[in-house]
Amino acid sequence: MKQILFIFIAFSGLYSAWGQGKEKVYKAPSPNFIDLSLQTHNDKLRFGVQDEYYLKSDGSYVKPSDATYVDIDKRFSHNNASRHAFAELLKIRFKQEMFAAMDTDYFTERTNTMFEKDKMSHTAQQHTLTLANALSTNEHAMSYFCNQKEDSDCTSRFPQEGYYNEPRNIRPWGGRGATEFQQLRAYTTFAKNDLPVIVKWGSTLLPDNTLKGYYVTRTHLGKYDFKAGGFWLITHQFYNQGFLLKWYNLQPGNSSQRKLMHPNGASILLKMSPDKAETFSEKVQQVYLVFDVTGRLNGLESYRADQLKTTFTLNSPIIEIYSDDSLTNKVDEIDINTMVTKTR
C-alpha cells in the first residue's frame, strides 16, 4: 500500500447526557467518518462490562413508550458502533506487514494454495472492508455500499438518522447485486482515498498501547450466608467478556491479588447485615465490581480469531461495588488486602 502522509490532530473530550455518565469522544479526522464515543467512569475509560443504557437506577428498564427511549436507543447505537470501530482501529498497528502487502488495485482471491504475501493481502482487504463498514458515515457509506443501478431507494437500506451501522452488518463492496466492476471500483476508491486517513487515525489512539481506566465486571448476588454475614461473590462467575479487557487476563501483583485468580475459583465476601441484605436481595439480582486498572495491548490472539490480546494490572486494592450498570448506586467497597475469601 502506498504511503501517503496525513497530518491531523485527534481531538477528544468528555460529555454527559441525561441520566447517563460522561463519555469520551474521539473526533474523526474527516467528516466522512463517525466520531467515536466511549464510556467512562470517574473521567477515565471504562473497560469490560458496559452501561447498557436501558436499565434505570431503580432496576426497571426504559420502555419504548417512554419519552427518553429514542434518545437512549440512539446513544446505545453510537456507543456500540464506537467500541467496535475503536477496536478495529487498534488492530491496524499489529497488521502493518499485512497492509504493506495489500493489493490496492485488485482483489486478492482466497485459494488453498496461496503464497504468504497473498494471504496477508487478503487478510488486509477483509479488514479494510470491516473498517469501511465500521467508520463510514451513512452518507459516505452510500458511495461504497449502495448499488444505484439495482436499488433506487438506497436510503431505506441504511440506518435512520442518529443511528449507526451494526458491527455484525458487513455490507459488500458496491452494494447488493453489484457487478464485479462496481465491487472493484468501490474497493479501490476506498483503499486509495480513505484507508490512509484511517490508518493514520488508528496510530494516534493509545499510541503507547497502554489502557488506563476502570475494568468493570458483574456477577450474580447468590444466596445470603448467615454465618459469614454476607454474600459470596464467586470469581468463576464473573462475566469474562466486554470491551477490550477480560477478567481472566488480570495479572496479579501480590499474594492478595493472586487469591482472586485461584485456579479452583475464589469467593469474595460482600459483608452486609441480615436486615439490609433482605431488602437488598429483593431488589438486586446482580452486582457490578469496579477495578482501577492499567491495561496493555499485546498484539492479536491469532489472525484467524482476529481478537486483540490484552492484559491488565490493578492500580488500587479497592474494589467498588455497585448495584446498577451505570455505576450510580454504590453499595460498598472491598479492600483486596483485607478481604475475606474462600476457595473450593
Give 282's contacts (C-beta < 8 A, 6+ positions apart).
none
Contact yes or no for 211/244 (Cβ under 8 A): yes
Same domain for 190 and 64: yes
Same domain for 180 and 40: yes
CA 167 to chain centroid, in Å, comes to: 11
The pTM for the full model equals: 0.90
Range of the domain at 295: 210-343
Which one-letter amino acid corresponds to residue 295?
G
Same domain for 181 and 104: yes
Contact yes or no for 50/215 (Cβ under 8 A): no
Alpha-carbon gap, residue 251 to 80, rounded angstroms: 27
Instruction: Give the E-state strand segments of the chain in sequence order.
Output: 12-16, 22-26, 36-41, 44-48, 210-220, 224-225, 230-234, 266-271, 286-300, 308-314, 318-322, 330-335, 341-343
- Residue 12: the pLDDT is 58
- Residue 17: the pLDDT is 46
| 325 phi/psi in degrees, rounded to 5 | -75, -15
Is 255 among the domain residues? yes
Is 6 among the domain residues? no
pLDDT per 10-residue tile (average), the chain, 344 residues: 43 52 92 97 97 81 90 94 98 96 96 91 97 96 86 72 91 92 97 98 97 96 95 92 94 94 92 96 94 97 83 98 94 97 88
214's grid cell: 476502570
Around Cβ 3, how many Cβ atoms within 10 Å?
7
Is 121 among the domain residues? yes
- Residue 112: the pLDDT is 86
Same domain for 261 and 286: yes
- Residue 177: the pLDDT is 87
323's grid cell: 448495584
Is 259 among the domain residues? yes
Same domain for 250 and 127: no
Question: Among the three residues 179, 204, 229, which one is the final residue of a domain in this structure?
Answer: 204
Same domain for 304 and 184: no
213 CB burial (10 A radius; 0-12, 13-18, 19+): buried
Same domain for 235 and 142: no
253's grid cell: 501483583
Same domain for 132 and 44: yes
C-beta contacts of 201-204 below 8 A and 24+ residues apart: 201/8, 201/10, 201/28, 201/29, 201/33, 201/89, 202/89, 202/90, 202/92, 202/93, 203/92, 203/93, 204/10
Which of helix, strand or coil describes residue 267? strand
Same domain for 155 and 46: yes
Is 297 among the domain residues? yes
Is 5 among the domain residues? no
Alpha-carbon gap, residue 185 to 106, rounded angstroms: 9
Alpha-carbon gap, residue 43 to 12, rounded angstroms: 12
For the chain, how many structural domains are there in total? Answer: 2
Alpha-carbon gap, residue 309 to 291, rounded angstroms: 19
- Residue 5: the pLDDT is 41
- Residue 264: the pLDDT is 85
Is 3 among the domain residues? no
Question: Among the three residues 157, 187, 204, which one is the final residue of a domain in this structure?
Answer: 204
Same domain for 248 and 131: no
Contact yes or no for 80/168 (Cβ under 8 A): no
Same domain for 165 and 38: yes
Is 2 among the domain residues? no
56's grid cell: 434505570
- Residue 7: the pLDDT is 40
DSSP string of 311-328, one letter each residue: EEEES-SEEEEESSTTS-
- Residue 9: the pLDDT is 41
Question: Among the three residues 144, 172, 204, which one is the final residue of a domain in this structure?
Answer: 204
- Residue 151: the pLDDT is 59
Going by C-alpha positions, the residue among 289, 297, 276 that lies closest to residue 316 is 289
Same domain for 46 and 194: yes
- Residue 1: the pLDDT is 47
- Residue 153: the pLDDT is 61
Give 2's contacts (C-beta < 8 A, 6+ positions apart).
104, 192, 196
C-beta contacts of 189-193 below 8 A and 24+ residues apart: 189/143, 189/144, 190/128, 190/132, 190/144, 191/1, 191/102, 191/104, 191/125, 191/128, 192/2, 192/104
pLDDT tens sequence across 209-230:
999 999 999 999 989 999 999 9
